Amino acid sequence: MDLNRRTLAVREKMSQIDLSGLRKYTVIIVLLALMLIFSMVSPYFLTWRNLTNIFIQNTYFIIVAIGLSFVMIGGGIDLSVGYQMSLVGVVTAMAMMVYHLPVWLAALIGLLLGIILGLINGLIVTSIKIFPLIATLATATVFQGLSYIISKANTFRGYPEEFLFLTKGKIFGIPFDIILTIVIALVVSFFYTETVFGFRLLALGGNEEATRLAGINTRRMKIAIYTICGFFTAIATMVMISKANTTNSSFGPGTEFIALTAAIVGGVSFMGGEGSIPSLIAGVLLLAVLGNGMQLAGWGTYAQFIVRGMILLGAVAFDEYQRNAKSKIKIKG
């Protein structure tokens, strides 16, 4: 009998342990596990050159995912980011290559355009009050059309050296885009954890009506988060086109899927109210490691689509499971 009572007591104690906090480390653990697996599959995987390449090639995905996290943590979604990149990319490129504007001015125009596109999304979502998924799907199509019309389906290549410094330049031996990505990650992480706006963003995603009843202007907040997303998407676009040293309207679309998957895998809840930058970056790198590892293992590009889709399904299912599990954990009052 004593053993049964002890067993019951231990079980009760264990049921009271909140494992939800460990969730933010799950993605890091999975990332390390994948790296271990692929290091056994291919001798080229765990080399310094390969690992740094993985990071360098994914800096703009990280920046887009960070921008998208503002919207997702706030309870929304933006499926137009890839198409914003298409439009911002061709406009920035044309400003430099067709209109021969100084690089700084072309970049400023690109950033402003990104902000405006984000603002448009925010205004549509809050004014017409349709699901953000539908609203941003619609704007994605509009942005894509504008991109093709403005660029006349042309390709622009061979940017000035000052622009290429974004990805080719180095400071103390570290590629500039890596420094930029790390600075953005640190600033946004601080923003989420220490600022009033960051705190209210969590609340907005957790319970929008309660946030409104707490006296917070939720409409203004939602417009702000879409605008911020547009701003970071524009920065990511500069990095993307600088890296490729070319662009046309097909550059960008598809990024939204990778950024969305990475964000969810990285612990940004699909329903809002949850997310952290370190886990989000781990989510991007997890997908990147998966792609790189599969390629080194000879699995081919098309198999990666299947795997990414399954990962997205699994991540959303796990997110939903976590939510249901949390609501079942109660302490007797």
- Helix, strand, or coil (residue 174): strand
Q: Taking CB under 8 A as the rule, does residue 318 contact another protein?
A: no
Cβ neighbours around 212 below 10 Å, total: 14
- First-residue to last-residue Cα distance in the chain: 27
Nearest CB to another protein, comparing residues 5 and 330: 330
**CA 151/CA 154 separation, integer angstroms:** 5
Which residue has 């989000």 as its token pair?
280
Counting contacts by CB under 8 A, is residue 2 touching another protein?
A: no
The verdict on 321 binding another protein (CB under 8 A) reads no
Of 168 and 200, which has the nearer Cβ to another protein?
Answer: 200
Query: Can residue 18 be called a binding residue for another protein (CB under 8 A)?
Result: yes
- Tell me if 248 contacts another protein by CB under 8 A: no
Report the distance separating Cα 126 and Cα 79, nearest Å. Answer: 16
Q: What is the DSSP letter of 74?
A: T
Tell me: does residue 327 bind another protein (CB under 8 A): yes
Please tell me whether residue 24 binds another protein under the rule CB under 8 A. Answer: no
Distance CA 160, CA 66 (A): 27
Candidate residues 14, 100, 196, 324; the one interacting with another protein per rule CB under 8 A: 196
**Sign of the dihedral defined by the CA atoms of residues 154, 157, 160, 165, in that order:** positive
CA-to-CA separations, 42 to 24, 35, 269, 292, 302, in angstroms, rounded: 28, 10, 33, 11, 19
Which window, 83-91, 257-265, 298-306, 325-333, contacts another protein (CB under 8 A)?
325-333
224 or 238, CB closer to another protein?
Answer: 224
Minimum separation from the CB atom of position 116 to another protein (A): 25
Closest CA to 166 of 67, 258, 96: 96
Q: Is 105 in the site for another protein (CB under 8 A)?
A: no
Query: C-beta of 19: minimal distance to another protein in Å?
Result: 11
Q: Does 14 bind another protein (CB under 8 A)?
A: no
User: Per CB under 8 A, does 209 bind another protein?
Assistant: yes
Site for another protein in 266-305 (CB under 8 A): 273-274
Q: Work out the number of other CB atoms within 10 angstroms of the CB of residue 25.
A: 13
Out of 211, 227, 242, 247, name the contact with another protein by CB under 8 A: 211
Identify residue 152 by its one-letter amino acid code.
K
CB neighbourhood size of 165 (10 A)? 15
Residue 280 Cβ, how far from another protein at the closest point, in Å? 16
Q: What is the DSSP string of 225-293?
A: HHHHHHHHHHHHHHHHHHHHTEE-TTSSTTHHHHHHHHHHHTT--TTSS---HHHHHHHHHHHHHHHHH
Question: Could you tell me which stretch among 2-10, 109-117, 203-211, 223-231 binds another protein (CB under 8 A)?
Answer: 203-211
Stretch near another protein under the rule CB under 8 A, chosen from 142-150, 158-166, 213-221, 291-299? 213-221
Among 42, 189, 207, 250, binds another protein (CB under 8 A): 207
Per-residue interface string for the shown chain with another protein, residues 44-73, x marking contact by CB under 8 A: ------------------------------
Residue closer to another protein (CB basis): 44 or 190: 190
Where on the chain is the footprint of another protein (CB under 8 A)?
18, 20, 194-197, 199-200, 202-203, 205-207, 209-216, 273-274, 326-327, 329-333
